[in-house]
Amino acid sequence: MGERFKDPTKSFLCSFANCKASFSKSWKLEAHYCKHTGLRPFACDNCDKSFCTRYQLTRHNLSHSGKKPYQCIVDGCSEGFTSTAGLKNHVERVHQHKEKHYVCDYEGCLKEFHKNNQLKSHKCEHMNQLPFECQYEGCGKKYATSKKLQKHEKVHDGYPCAEEGCAFQGRTWTEYQAHRKAAHREALQCDSCTKVFHKAWFLKKHKLFVHLGVRRMFKCTKEGCPKTYTTRFNLQNHILSFHEGKRSFICPHDGCGKAFAMEESLKRHAVVHDPQKKKMQKKTKRGWKKLKPKTNVSNASELSAQLQNLSLNKSTSQNNP
């Protein structure tokens, strides 16, 4: 192998064969070694996850504490995130409607990926650079990333149940999840009614909204506007249409031409042009629900009366020949 080009700003070089990575700081090199070894030295005390750097562990711990220090600054949005990367992706995807696509430029491929590291791993397969080899006897399968290798190794290890005293070990992740739901699913009953929930978060929301009458309100952030809404969708629709004048979704039905700020609003409006569909559906909290055709009560009653009269007439004729 030829002599590696030395960047004066990157003096920490990877010592693994065929790897040309170099870094400006020692901790970056140590984190990089995790990709080769599969080791993750920084373990979480609250779950079974582990990380390559202390920064990643600190950021992960925010998910246990519930803190989201990076708040979206777009008017009308109250979303929070545990990292700047999460906030950036949210703004681009939700507010700027951008979808990143990383395309493989290998001849005849052109596969698309949503993340750059996915594209890099994919390219390794084209160049047959698969540094992570399974060490189980008789296997020898190779992978582009340590994550893919760890996923593969589960085929050999299985999925042991994490509950104390349970000896179950699933052969697949799906089998393990099915066991968890069947054998260890938590049942939390509301102390004010008979409803049962399987997650504490849902029970808490149920108590707030149903028994305490609390309703989450989204207030318009535009200066001088007193409007409030019970859903973020309605608030976003209000801001786009009323304050920003955006109505880019136009009904294509002949003679209509109504415009809407949200695509979902246009879909809901489309029912107006289909009377049969509108008649057969009703709005519920979970969306549109198909209705069964109703029996005509008056016609059914009239038919029943006619049959009763026929029966009486027949009985009278038989008694009086």
pLDDT digits (tens, 9 = 90+) for 149-187: 887 877 777 788 878 888 888 878 788 888 888 888 888
What is the pLDDT, as a whole number, of residue 248?
83
CATH topology of 17-67 equal to that of 218-290?
yes
pLDDT band, residue 115 (cuts 50/70/90): confident
17-67: CATH architecture: 2-Layer Sandwich (3.30)
- pLDDT one-digit tens code per residue, 205-249: 888 878 887 777 788 888 888 888 877 888 888 888 888 888 888
- Considering only CA atoms, give the Rg of the chain: 31
The mean pLDDT value of the chain amounts to: 76
CA 224 vs CA 11, 119, 243, 281: distances in Å: 57, 47, 11, 39
What is the pLDDT, as a whole number, of residue 306?
58
What is the pLDDT, as a whole number, of residue 4?
44
Query: What is the SS3 string spanning 204-241?
Result: HHHHHHHHCCCCCCEECCCCCCCCEECCHHHHHHHHHH
What is the pLDDT, as a whole number, of residue 285?
46
- pLDDT one-digit tens code per residue, 70-95: 888 888 888 888 888 888 888 877 88
Q: What residue segments make up the domains of the chain, in order of their start? A: 17-67, 218-290
Query: What is the SS3 string spanning 62-127?
Result: HHHHCCCCEECCCCCCCCEECCHHHHHHHHHHHHCCCCCCEECCCCCCCCEECCHHHHHHHHHHHC
Residue position matching structure tokens 């920064």? 55
- pTM of the predicted model over 0.75: no
Q: How far is CA 317 from the centre of its chain?
A: 74
Q: Cα separation of 114 and 100, whole Å?
A: 6
Query: What is the SS3 string spanning 168-201?
Result: CEECCHHHHHHHHHHHCCCCEECCCCCCEECCHH
Residue type, 153: E
Q: Cα separation of 241 and 235, whole Å?
A: 10
pLDDT beyond 50 at 296: no
- pLDDT one-digit tens code per residue, 22-75: 888 888 888 888 877 777 788 888 787 888 888 888 878 887 877 888 888 888
CATH tag, 218-290: 3.30.160
Maximum separation of any 2 CA atoms in the chain, in Å: 122
